[in-house]
Amino acid sequence: MTDLQGSKSTPPHVTLRERCRVMGIPTWRYSAGGHALDAPADDGAAGFLARTPTIERLVDGAVARWIREDAPTIREIAPGMWLVPFVEQHRRRRRAFTVALMLGPESVRSDTVQTALSDVGASAGCKARVAAVAVHSERTVEIAAQSIGWLHEDLTQLAESGRAVETFSSQLAESYEEINLLYSLGRSMNDIEHPQRFVDLACQELLKTLSYNWIGAYFTRGQGASRVLAGLSVIAGRIPCPRAVFEVTVAEMIPNLEQDAVAIVQGDEGGPLTMGGEHALAHLVTSGGSTVGVIIAGGKRGEDVEANAADMKLLEAAAGYTSVVIENAHLYEVQRDMFLGTLEALTAAIDAKDPYTRGHSQRVAHLSRQIALALGHGEQDAERVRICGLVHDIGKIGIPESILRATGRLTDEEFEVMKEHPAIGHHILHDIPTLDDVLPAVLYHHERFDGKGYPSGLGGEDIPMVARIVCLADAFDAMSSTRTYRKQMTRAVVLEEVARCAGAQFDPDVVSAFQTIDLARYDQMLHRHQAEIDSHTKGREAA
């Protein structure tokens, strides 16, 4: 899977603007002195609006004020039209701005947008297309600004970490064994999604290179630690005690060690690890300045039983590389969480267009994951299927709100418009490399097993499995939820309908797997979301 950090040669601001473009958010880049460097590259309605002279003058004015401020903040330049600044700094010196434009429904009715479109002779259809993407509120702008800001910080830190790795790699030691060890480790540093693989390799390579009988690593659950590694121990060779004793001993040893230095542990300091007059070498592993673990070598073999500088240098190098990998892995986890958080915010905003679909995408995501597990998929694959369920309806961002909020069943004409949302969602997400495996679910979740679905009329196993899973999860939640045109069906009726449609609307194997899952968590989610809907409805009635 491709990560979100971009290539080493791609500047963070380029990756940031590309991510914003994919999400339909136009961006400019300005110099620290306020000169426009790059205009929005978006080819959608928001990008067209952003490039109009009226909007560009407003952006120029906002930037002119920001360059005089120590901490630029979000600025509403017209009703429902917000500019979000992201400052690029190097060594605390401001270098440039990336400025994002986010639109809310109120902006479409504003004189500013009317003037901007009128001045360039835009058609009424253009205004309608702008309205389709003007979905933000002041709250979602704040959430998106915070998420994108974190993404910007992470991209910058990752770029700096990449440069640090390159610098560190250029200072390899002179000995052949050291070069061979560091080369092996350096080649494996890019797998930041699976840092435990790197730790396994580091311990095995150290065992082959050093004259020690065993190499161990242990990781804490402290700040900056990778979730994957927290509490994990890795051992190469044969330790002189059970693993549980090793973990307790090393955990007690960590507070007594100094960062950035190899410690020679001997006697009572190492407990069962240094019995019989043996010693151990230990070096802390850090992330963001915090201690997150330790790598330790013990059981020196050969004629020279004393610790030597070469062994200490190799252990120090391996610990340094491990620190970089863990910090990058932690940053990646944070970045991934922010990215998924942005997706969740967008899908929640779409669901919220109609109070009766509040929480729909979250529930479909949960059901999709449970079905995938019941079908025998692993945790990692099931998580990808969950994301499929989360974003399956993201194309509704391009469907008119009048259709989404229709109080009765849709007319034939309205339904034809609604049927466009899978293709719209596919178009929105297809440029995001990390979502390649999600696209089939977005595009085909309304296909039927009997071939009578849309948009392509696929049938049977021609429909991707992820789409067959989301199809059932989507339909089950729709039947289980209250909609404007009907009340929710009883559980018995819904389950009977699911079973009846096996082989017609649904894949029979998916139905069989679905019938085994525990719906308790789903019911909790449904109850909570229904309570929110009821509260919202009462609030509107009271108003």
Where are the chain's structural domains? 12-163, 176-331, 356-542
pLDDT per residue as tens digits for the range 508-523: 999 999 999 999 999 9
- The CATH number given to 356-542 is 1.10.3210.10
Is residue 426 scored above 80 in pLDDT? yes
Q: Is 171 helix (H, G, I), strand (E, B) or coil?
A: coil
Residues in the chain: 543
For every residue of 341-372, DSSP letters joined together read HHHHHHHHHHHTTSGGGTTHHHHHHHHHHHHH
Amino acid 376 reads G
What dihedral do alpha carbons 225, 226, 231, 236 form, nearest 10°? -110
329/228 Cα distance (integer angstroms): 9
Supply the pLDDT for residue 502: 96
Q: Which residues contact 508 (CB under 8 A, 6 or more apart)?
A: 449, 502
Is residue 215 scored above 90 in pLDDT? yes
Q: Which residues contact 208 (CB under 8 A, 6 or more apart)?
A: none
Q: Do domains 176-331 and 356-542 have the same CATH topology?
A: no
368/383 Cα distance (integer angstroms): 9
What the block records as the tokens of 463 is 């429909």
pLDDT category at 6 given cuts 50, 70, 90 is very low
255/343 Cα distance (integer angstroms): 40
Supply the pLDDT for residue 476: 96
- Mean predicted confidence (pLDDT) in 60-65: 94
Most confident of 32-41, 140-149, 292-301, 443-452: 443-452
Most confident of 119-133, 221-235, 247-261, 367-381: 367-381
Least confident among 130-134, 347-351, 425-429: 347-351
Supply the pLDDT for residue 173: 44
Q: What φ, ψ does residue 494 adopt, rounded to 5°?
A: -65, -45
pLDDT category at 174 given cuts 50, 70, 90 is very low
Paired sense of beta strands 212-219 and 75-78, if any: unpaired
pTM over 0.85: no
Cβ burial 256-280 (10 Å sphere, 16+ → b, else e): ebeeeebbebeeebbbebbeeebbb
pLDDT per residue as tens digits for the range 69-112: 988 999 999 999 999 999 988 777 888 999 999 999 999 999 99
- Mean predicted confidence (pLDDT) in 219-237: 78
Q: Domain 176-331 falls in which CATH fold? A: Beta-Lactamase (3.30.450)
Is residue 348 scored above 70 in pLDDT? yes
